[in-house]
Homo-oligomer: A and B are copies of this chain.
């Protein structure tokens, strides 16, 4: 058991950041040997609001207003431009981007989930992360006059399918 631990540590110590070369310099990962396969990623984020700001967003949704629609659209558009936003990301086609926003009244939070799918030689984690993030920032933009203390956070990968590294489920 102990040996296994040591070997694991050695293996781990060989792991390195994919986006830096041996000298520590940044690089784009070469996906030239990867085949285009179906890939999917799901990311989530949240915006924690004051009671007042949350109530305004909730009332806007009850009135079928646009606040959540604007944030959703901003998320979709951001996913399409991920490779401009993240310097070492590959530009890839996208089959679909879905962004959903829900309200959690107990926590006074907007909960965001973004899903991206592609058939490409590299994954769509960053596209899903970008969509969840920009949707959250857009909510902040619209509530900030009322609640400067709102916090966008918990941006994380929930699920990932396809590609060499296989399935990931948080």
Contact = CB atoms under 8 A, between A and B. Distances in A.
Which of A70, A134, A170 has its CB near the most chain B CB atoms (within 10 A)? Answer: A70
A88 B76 contact: yes
Contacts of A141: 19, 86, 88-89, 126
A113 interface: no
Contact of A28 (B69, B74, B96, B170): B96
Contacts of A74: 85-87
Contacts of A170: 148-149
A76 B77 CA distance: 14
Interface residues of A, number: 87
Q: How many identical subunits does the complex contain?
A: 6
B66 A26 contact: yes
A152 B144 contact: no
Interface string A32-64: 100000100000000000001000110010011
Nearest to A36: B119
B26 A69 contact: yes
B152 A156 contact: yes
Contacts of A60: 17, 20, 24
Given A12-B52, A23-B65, A80-B83, A148 B155 contact: no
Contacts of A56: 15-17
A12 to B, nearest CB: 6
- List 5 A-B pairs, minimum CB-CB distance, nearest first: A24-B65, A64-B64, A153-B153, A26-B66, A32-B95
